[in-house]
Every structure is written in structure tokens, then in C-alpha cells.
A and B are shown apart, each in its own frame.
Chain A
């Protein structure tokens, strides 16, 4: 009885811990498959959802490593050129609760992959799919949508806003101006 409970607890711990801490730098799906589904640009809100086989939301969304990689790429790929550090500039703000094209990670993935009207370019060819997922997961974390235990922490540079792991959660954020 006790043993069972302890084992169960350990298994749960292992599952939660592993998923958050796993550092898979070479997701299997990407290997050897040169062909990708034909890009579909769609203007409908929410965008085209990826097929279940390609949907990597589960393995990226709450994984600390992928989120932090997303944060790095956000800077490297100059997303801040338009979106600043999430506060918005030429492009819309990413830190608030307003989503023009849906708030799910799949929608954000589609936005980055296929682009959106009024200036958001398509990065389909420019960024490998796994890294689009990382970026999408990070963008979601900007508005407190991922567990703070996995969200990236502050950078070692000038800090114009609180780090993602210290943002209020999405519900609270929506109410603030």
C-alpha cells in the first residue's frame, strides 16, 4: 500500500520532472524527412492547425529548455525589431492578453510559420520547424501562459520588464491595463 503510493509518487515526479527538464536537441521527427507538407497560408483567425502527427505542442509548451531556446531565438532572429521585448512597437504587443489570431501554441506556430497580414512575414523556409515551436512556446510565456517553474528567467542584460517566470498569470494579466 505505502510502497504503491511511493512508487506512484515517484513515477508522477519523474514524468513531471522529465517533461520540464528534458533537453532534446534533436527531435526525432525532423531527422531524415526532407519533405514537409505544402505550406498553407490561411487568413482565418487561429490559422491552420497542424496535423496531429506534427503537433509538437505537448513536448515544447512546458519544457524549460525549449522555452529558453525560444527566448534566445527571439533575440537572435530580431523579433524584437517589431515586437520589442514583448511590449510591442511596429508589431503588436505580445505580453498582453489580446490575441489577434488565437492564443493557442498551434495558432502562434502558424502565425510565425505562415505569416499574417499587415507585416508579419512568413518564416516557413527561414526557421526550422522545431525552432518555430520553441519561439511559439516562448511567445506564449510572455503573457504568463506557461507554468512559472518552466518559464525563462531574466537575461543578463538591461531588463526593461520583469522576466517571464515572474509575470502574473494570464487571468490576472488580462484585467490590467
Chain B
């Protein structure tokens, strides 16, 4: 077919932050599907909790302190996370490097506490369905925590190499910030579900 040029694209930038970049949308897509997974797991927990009048099935109350510490750490991590996001948008390499290291530490800290959170549930996964659901919910979130911390560490290393000077990499940092928000956000309802909802009734 014959062609008739009507527009010139040569002046366009070669990368963009946030919703301008396809990667951001891809990240959003994966968040949507993982979020659905979280919601369904939580729904399954509530379904069982409502089917059984004596929910917690005479299991001991979990010790909420490790979970609470994880929650506080995760919420605290949002501050450096968003500072990091601003620097990434300005493509400032040194603050971004520092921010990434900080975020690695903020990612590892809750993981360490998480190690103690599993025994603090005071029940095993094969004791009864309540224990199973607790371990499933906690395990599901821990998987996300581990993968995102791994991702952050790799990206941190990458930012210290010559590849870090690319606009694309700053975009990746922005997406990493975005995903960490998601990991923090999904934890809050799970935290409430595991430690506080059974105490209501």
C-alpha cells in the first residue's frame, strides 16, 4: 500500500516514568492478578470461618507481636520508598543508589522477623483447616516478599554498574517502588485477618 507521511515522531523521548511506560502497566497487570489471588485466599479463609461457629477450632491465639513488628517495618519502609521514587523520576544516580540499598535493608528486615512469625502462629498447617489457612496466607505473602526483595537486590547491583545510567533503569526503579507499595498494601488486610479478625467474635 502507498504511504503518506502525516506525523513525525522523531522528537519523542525514549523512556517514561509511571503510567507512561508499558512496564508500569505490566506491573499493574501482575498486581491485579496477584491481588485477585490474595483476595480469593482471604475469601476462602472467611468462607471457612463463617461455616464453623467455633472458628479457630479451639486453636490457641496467635502471638501477634512478630506480625505487628513486620507491619510497622513495612509501613515505615513506605517513606524511603517514596523518596526513592522521586529521585528515580529525576534520574539522580547517587541518591537512587543509596535509596536502593536502604530499600534492600528494609526488605530484608521484615523477612527476618517473618522467620519468627510462623512459629508465633502457635499452630501448624496440618493441625486443622484454621492452621492451614493461616500458613497459606502467610506463605503467600512471604513468597511475594521474597521475590520482591530478590528483585530489589538485583536491581541495586545493576544500579551500581554502568547499566545504571540508563533512563530505562530509572524507570525500573520506579516500578520496583510501585511493586513494593503493593507488597505492603496486601499485607495490611492479611495481618488483620490473621491476628485481629478472629478476636472480634
Contacts and interface: CB of A to CB of B under 8 A. Distances in A.
Do A and B come from the same complex? yes
A159 interface: yes
Interface string A154-169: 1000010010001000
B123 to A, nearest CB: 14
Main secondary structure of the interface of B (DSSP, over half): loop
Contacts of A159: 126
Nearest to A166: B126
Contacts, number: 4
A159 B126 CA distance: 9
Interface of B: 126
Interface of A: 154, 159, 162, 166
4 contacts: A154-B126, A159-B126, A162-B126, A166-B126
* 4 smallest beta-carbon distances between A and B, as pairs: A162-B126, A159-B126, A154-B126, A166-B126
A166 B125 CA distance: 13
A162 B126 CA distance: 8
Nearest to A154: B126
A141 B126 CA distance: 19
A144 B126 CA distance: 18
A166 B124 CA distance: 14
Contacts of B126: 154, 159, 162, 166
A168 to B, nearest CB: 14
B55 to A, nearest CB: 17
Contacts of A166: 126
B59 to A, nearest CB: 14
A160 to B, nearest CB: 11
A154 B128 CA distance: 12
Nearest to A162: B126
Nearest to B124: A162
Nearest to B128: A159
A154 B126 CA distance: 10
Contacts of A162: 126
A16 B99 CA distance: 53
A116 to B, nearest CB: 33
B129 to A, nearest CB: 11
Nearest to A159: B126
A161 to B, nearest CB: 10
Contacts of A154: 126
A93 to B, nearest CB: 21
A134 B14 CA distance: 69
B58 to A, nearest CB: 13
A163 to B, nearest CB: 8
B125 to A, nearest CB: 11
A158 to B, nearest CB: 9
A29 to B, nearest CB: 39
A162 B124 CA distance: 12
B131 to A, nearest CB: 11
Nearest to A158: B128
A159 B57 CA distance: 14
B51 to A, nearest CB: 16
A162 to B, nearest CB: 7
A48 B17 CA distance: 79
A159 B129 CA distance: 11
A154 B127 CA distance: 12
